[in-house]
Structures are given as structure tokens and as C-alpha cells.
Amino acid sequence: MKIVIVEDDPGIRKELKQLLENAFYEAEIIEEFKDTAEQICSMIPAPDLVLLDWNLPGESGFDICTKLKEHSDIPIIFLTSRTDSMDELTGILKGADDYITKPFNPPILLARIGVVLKRTIDKNAEKS
């Protein structure tokens, strides 16, 4: 399963990539935050999930989420330092599948990724 990491902090990016790869996921990093949704939608193969920070240079995670949901059904988990309940509500209402605040607990993050992926796989299997 391929997970795209959209995070501007190099330390957190590295930590997430290692965590995901240790859990046997394929992790791909986005480091240029211009036309991010288009970058993600044009990936081959398409990602199975996006971990998305909210506060990014150039383009907000909120805008990226909105654009992604207009063009795809790739699940999105916000992973952000924004702890305000209105931000969380906005993220979920705009289509995010989950919202996790930093600092995150690695086993909990992996569990929540697994739940979102299972739900997505089950939903896609029902369509077939």
C-alpha cells in the first residue's frame, strides 16, 4: 500500500517515512507544495492514502484536501499541529477521513491508518 506524506518539516517527514516503511507501507514524500493535489492525482500507481499537514508553505493542507476530494476518492488523514476543534471539524467536513494532532503517538497513528485503509478497501470491494 502506498502512502503519500505531505509535510514541510524535514524531521517529521523522515520520521513518518521510516515509521511507514517499517510497517511495510510504501511511503512517498511530497516536498514541493505547489499544485500538490495535481502531483498526488498524477501518481502512478495512485496512492492508497495521503497524510496531510495543514500548515504548509504556499498552499494550505485545507486547500489541498478540497482539491483532492474534487478529483479523487483517495483517503486523507490530517496530521497537524492545529489542535483547535473548529479546524478538526472543518477538515472532516471538507472530506478528511481522520484528523490526528502532533505530537502523534506512532502506534496509534499506524492503527488509525490501518482502520482508514481497511474501511476504504471494504468500501471498494462492495462496489465491485
**Contacts with 121 (C-beta within 8 Å, 6 or more apart), sequence order:** none
CA 20 to chain centre: 12
Please tell me the predicted confidence (pLDDT) of residue 120.
83
For the cut 60, the answer to whether the pLDDT of residue 128 exceeds it is: no
Check: CB of residue 81 under 8 Å from CB of residue 57.
no
pLDDT, one tens digit per residue, over 67-114 is: 999 989 999 999 999 999 999 999 999 899 999 999 999 999 999 999
For 98, phi then psi, to 5°, come to -160, 165
Kind plus residue range of the DSSP H or E element containing 22: helix 10-22
Please indicate, yes or no, whether the overall pTM of this predicted structure exceeds 0.95. Answer: no
